[in-house]
Amino acid sequence: MRNKKWVFVDHENVGHLNDFETEDVDKIFVFVGATHKTLKINFIKLNDNVSLEIIKIKKIGENNLDFHLSYHLGKLDVTSDSDVEFIVLSADKGFDHLIQYIHDNGRICYRETRKSLVEGVVKDGKVGGAKDVIDNGDKVKEKSSKGLVDDSKSIKIVPEKILNEKADYVIGKLKKLPGNKRPRKIQTLKNYIKTIEKDHVAEIVKKLISKGAIYEKLGAVTYDVDSLPMDENLNVEGFKELIINLKNLSGNKRPRKLKTLKNHINTLKKGKPSLLLTSLEESKVIEVIEGDKVKYDLKYMKKVSSMSHA
């Protein structure tokens, strides 16, 4: 389940794209300044599916190219699928606040320099290059790499929502494996995850531990995935939030009639109410009895709530 990757190139800043490999890239937008008459691109590995769009800035003005690139980032953030990953190729740190804003709204978005993107190595979910930047909860730690002269920072933070989705996907895969086929060592587990989730392996393992899906001691792994709900509805927009909301309501405050439940879902203004109600029934979170009375599965609600707060 690889994310699509779109690269936004600040050609005015990076100068050229020689040696830029496109093996894992799906779309490239190259922003060219008004004064540039030539475009220096020499792809070594051009995959069959990559598309290239040249955006030529017509007017000369201070930071004009940056404004155009930022405009396209914002527009495509609104109109593109959530599984599209944005990479801004530039050494200009002025993009970082916008990148952080897009990240905070749920999309994987980060900046790379040409040097780090060309020569960097992806390992255990961390991008090597001028700087390794590792997501560690609310803090971002930097680890210097050797042998590279470009000291610009790269920003790569995985939004919590996407990381939860990836962890849930891995849990679903692990559930389908017989107990004796599941990896018993932490490194073997990481290698297994790499076969189904190329990026963010270390972060996924941490999330599996925090969810209580696995336990690790001295490199050995034990599992508790079978006690976790495996339900496609968990990925429905607003579903987890609705479960937590209903779980946190005291028994006499929880809607007991189908019509009242529908009205309650409407007031939350999360996702599509009709789809959420269907998801509640499909997941057996609720059972409609005697025509319009609602009965709740508290065990399921508590488990989903603990997963979401992990």
Over residues 222-274, the pLDDT tens digits come to: 888 666 555 566 677 888 888 888 888 877 888 999 999 999 998 888 788 88
Which tokens sit at 233?
A: 């509805």
Burial letters 273-289, b for 16+ CB under 10 A, else e: beebbebbeebebbeee
Query: Considering 179, 194, 227, which residue would you say is the last residue of a domain?
Result: 227
Radius of gyration, CA atoms only, the chain: 23
What local confidence, expressed as pLDDT, does residue 6 receive? Answer: 92
**Pick from 85, 73, 72: which is nearest to 4 by CA?**
85
Total number of domains in the chain: 3
Quick one: 219 and 274 in the same domain? no
Quick one: 80 and 27 in the same domain? yes
Quick one: 217 and 274 in the same domain? no
Quick one: 214 and 246 in the same domain? no
Quick one: 113 and 146 in the same domain? yes
Tell me the residue length of the chain.
Answer: 310
Quick one: 134 and 265 in the same domain? no
Quick one: 272 and 293 in the same domain? yes
Residue type, 289: I
Quick one: 294 and 260 in the same domain? yes
Please state, in angstroms and rounded to a whole number, the distance separating the CA atoms of residues 62 and 226.
58
79-130 residue pLDDT tens:
988 888 999 988 888 898 898 888 878 888 888 876 655 444 333 333 333 3
Residue 241 is part of which domain span?
Answer: 232-308
Quick one: 268 and 142 in the same domain? no
Quick one: 19 and 126 in the same domain? yes
Quick one: 133 and 256 in the same domain? no
**Maximum average pLDDT range among 69-73, 149-153, 200-204, 268-272:** 69-73
41-50 residue pLDDT tens:
665 556 667 8
What local confidence, expressed as pLDDT, does residue 72 receive? Answer: 93
Query: Considering 227, 260, 285, which residue would you say is the last residue of a domain?
Result: 227
What is the pLDDT confidence band of residue 69, given thresholds at 50, 70 and 90?
A: very high
Classified as helix, coil or strand, 111 is: strand
Chain mean pLDDT for the chain: 75
Quick one: 150 and 270 in the same domain? no
Query: Considering 176, 209, 227, which residue would you say is the last residue of a domain?
Result: 227
